Amino acid sequence: MGKNKLGEFEELVLLAIGGLDNEAYTVSIQQLLEAHTNRSVSMGALYTSLERLTKKGFLKSSMSKPTAERGGKSKRIYRVTYAGESALQEARMIRDSLWKKFNWSPAWS
């Protein structure tokens, strides 16, 4: 734990990137997150998360070929590293174990 801890938003970002496979770049990540969370996601927050995740070694990025839709500019494609995947797994394990212990109110049964 400690260094490899994932924040909630970071977790969502990692999941989104994993879901987008080879098409994961800033704009598509932002759009996917917005669509799934029903909240507006600011680019400032996204940039800081992406940078932090890259520093932690959970993400790798590479530049794509320039495309017409971005006005001839290339985009940075993100991919989740193995370390990132294991951080996700770890986070999920922690969650799952806590989920199992949760005492639900009768309304949910």
State the residues that interact with another protein by CB under 8 A: 26-27, 30-31, 40, 42-45, 47-48, 69-71, 73, 75-76
Q: How far is the CB of 38 from another protein (least distance, A)?
A: 14
Burial class of residue 78 in the structure, from the number of CB atoms within 10 Å of its CB (0-12 exposed, 13-18 middle, 19+ buried) = buried
Paired tokens of 66 = 């320039």
Nearer to another protein, 32 or 88 (CB): 32
* Nearest approach, Cβ of residue 19 and another protein (Å): 18
Distance CA 62, CA 84 (A): 16
Measured distance CA(43)–CA(45) in Å, rounded: 5
Q: Which residue number, 69 or 96, has a Cβ lying nearer to another protein?
A: 69
Our CB check for another protein shows the closer of 44 and 106 to be 44
